[in-house]
Amino acid sequence: MKTNLLILFFVSLFGYASAQGGACPAGFRRVKVTVIPDNKPTEITWAVVSKGGVPLLSGTIGTDSLCIPADSCVRFTIRDAGGAGICCAQG
């Protein structure tokens, strides 16, 4: 069975913009995602999606970031394809 962890988070800001390589524009804030894997990193994927379902950012392991606007709502989903959860030596 695939294990899914769904986290909803709300930020009081204004718009979506790439945060790579610098500061966010005025009225935006950075959302930083850092995934530290277990012993099976190839099973991990994640995504940040807008309230309207538009993919904004996705990845596997490591760190990435995105600038988002005030009063926006985004969804963060992380998946473990192996179904054992993301935890420890067992994966």
Q: What is the pLDDT of residue 27?
A: 87
Task: Give me the pLDDT at residue 5, please.
Answer: 38
Say what the pLDDT of residue 23 is.
86
Could you tell me the mean pLDDT of each successive run of 10 residues in the chain, 91 residues long? 36 40 83 90 93 92 89 90 81 62
* Burial of 82: CB neighbours in 10 Å, binned 0-12, 13-18, 19+: middle
- What does the pLDDT read at residue 67? 92
pTM of the entire predicted model: 0.70
Residue 1 CB partners (closer than 8 Å, separation 6+)? 83
